[in-house]
């Protein structure tokens, strides 16, 4: 049975605790992390000064309700400068604030992080879609860096470039800070070339397409838009987007979909995705950018993809072979707002990866490549 931690000793983890192989649980093609006890540390900002400790958390960290924060302060799960404080305590600037939580990480697809090249200074892998590169947000162990450390004992690792969480393909990691700096200098000098492939809706033009549109990323909405020119002619305001250029070449097409080679000259957030959208041929399963100006043929092609995906989900949901959650996988915490579920609220692990894949990086005297994914075949 699940044990209750209320009267048991708790071992708190910090970022210094490395991921280990036994930290992971695999179910139905999904990789979960066993919930663990973790200390989040922050230092009070000037604008927090004068707020009560409960008001501070209720206003700034809305992932949990006020009742939880009230209980967490009373039980010592929230501390100031290493000490338990009353709920009426008013925070002062720069104080150390610790929040001890039963941490549930979001699940990812249970795909191997395949090692492509292992050298003394460089490691290259094929990053699975849905797995972030390094710790960020709610992810710490369920990352490429964390998995490589847990399953292959690779540490330290320094990612040379970034791939969005839903993007798959070639990932280059330096095995020393000095080697990472060499790659960084080459990237900044413009001597590194990048190639991706994408599966887009519709029949992409046969001739090379060069998209030279500014990209403006809205962090609040989590999406980018394209802008033309340097000013908005309507109100003569300076545009906020950053200069961006991508070259696209069609590899093959069957009329309904096309496989396109993508060469980003710059590296803006969601650049390839939003530049493909601007051509009227967005990535075929990219729901974030399938709205807006998409030609009717592309729209119909996506509707087929969406319909097929719905059928697959329905089949999986009704499949008798899906096991129920084991009741012995992890301990229930009495204060945890995610227990008794394995995944945190809002994450079910059902998302699929984008049909966007990094296949090649090349520099002044080196080339690294990654095999094509299965979806790249239109036969």
Query: What gap in Å lies between CA 116 and CA 122, rounded to an integer?
Result: 11
Structure tokens at 204: 């992409």
The DSSP secondary-structure symbol of 374 reads G
As a 3-state breakdown, the chain gives helix, strand, coil percent values, each rounded to 5, of: 20, 30, 50
Altogether, the residues listed in the chain come to a count of 379
Q: How many helices (H) and strands (E) does the chain have?
A: 6, 21
Catalytic-residue membership of 164: yes
CA angle 358, 200, 362 (to 5 degrees): 20
What are the b/e assignments for 301-322, b being 16+ CB within 10 Å? bbeebeeeeeeeeeeeeeeeee
Q: Pick the catalytic residue from 164, 303, 325, 329.
A: 164
- Give, in order, the Cα–Cα distances in Å from 5 to each of 2, 8, 74, 332: 9, 5, 17, 7
CA angle 259, 263, 268 (to 5 degrees): 115
Q: What value, to the nearest 5°, has the Cα angle with vertex 105 and ends 128 and 62? A: 125
DSSP per residue, 12-71: -B-TTSPP-GGGEEEETTEEEE--EEEEEEEE--GGGTTSBHHHHHHHH-TTS-HHHHHH
- Would you please indicate which residues are annotated as catalytic (active-site) residues? 164
């Amino acid at each position: 049975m699940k044990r209750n931690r209320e009267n048991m000793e708790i071992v708190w983890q910090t970022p210094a605790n490395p991921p280990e192989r036994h930290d992971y649980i695999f179910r139905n093609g999904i990789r979960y992390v066993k919930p663990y006890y973790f200390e989040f540390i922050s230092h009070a900002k000037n604008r927090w000064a004068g707020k009560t400790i409960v008001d501070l958390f209720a206003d700034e960290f809305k992932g949990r309700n006020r009742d939880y924060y009230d209980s967490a302060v009373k039980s010592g799960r929230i501390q100031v400068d290493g000490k338990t404080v009353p709920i009426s305590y008013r925070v002062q600037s720069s104080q150390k604030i610790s929040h001890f939580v039963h941490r549930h990480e979001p699940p990812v697809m249970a795909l191997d992080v395949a090692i492509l090249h292992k050298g003394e200074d460089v490691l290259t892998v094929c990053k699975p879609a849905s797995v972030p590169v390094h710790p960020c947000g709610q992810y710490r162990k369920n990352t490429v860096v964390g998995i490589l450390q847990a399953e292959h004992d690779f540490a330290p690792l320094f990612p040379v470039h970034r791939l969005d969480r839903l993007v798959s393909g070639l990932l280059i990691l330096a095995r020393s800070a000095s080697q990472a700096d060499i790659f960084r200098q080459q990237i900044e000098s413009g001597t590194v070339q990048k190639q991706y492939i994408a599966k887009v809706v519709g029949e992409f033009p046969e001739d090379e397409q060069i998209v030279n549109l500014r990209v403006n990323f809205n962090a609040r909405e989590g999406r980018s838009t394209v802008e033309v020119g340097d000013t908005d002619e309507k109100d003569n305001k300076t545009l906020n987007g950053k200069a961006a250029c991508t070259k696209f070449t069609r590899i093959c097409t069957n009329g309904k979909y096309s496989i396109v080679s993508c060469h980003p000259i710059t590296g803006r957030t969601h650049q390839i995705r939003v530049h493909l959208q601007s051509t009227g041929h967005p990535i075929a399963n990219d729901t974030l950018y399938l709205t807006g100006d998409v030609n009717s043929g592309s729209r119909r092609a996506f509707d087929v993809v969406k319909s097929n995906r719905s059928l697959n989900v329905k089949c999986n949901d009704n499949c008798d072979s899906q096991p129920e959650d084991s009741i012995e996988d992890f301990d229930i915490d009495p204060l945890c707002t995610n227990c008794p579920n394995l995944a945190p609220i809002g994450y079910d692990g059902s998302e699929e990866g984008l049909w966007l894949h990094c296949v090649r990086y090349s520099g002044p005297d080196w080339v690294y490549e990654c095999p094509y994914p299965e979806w790249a075949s239109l036969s």
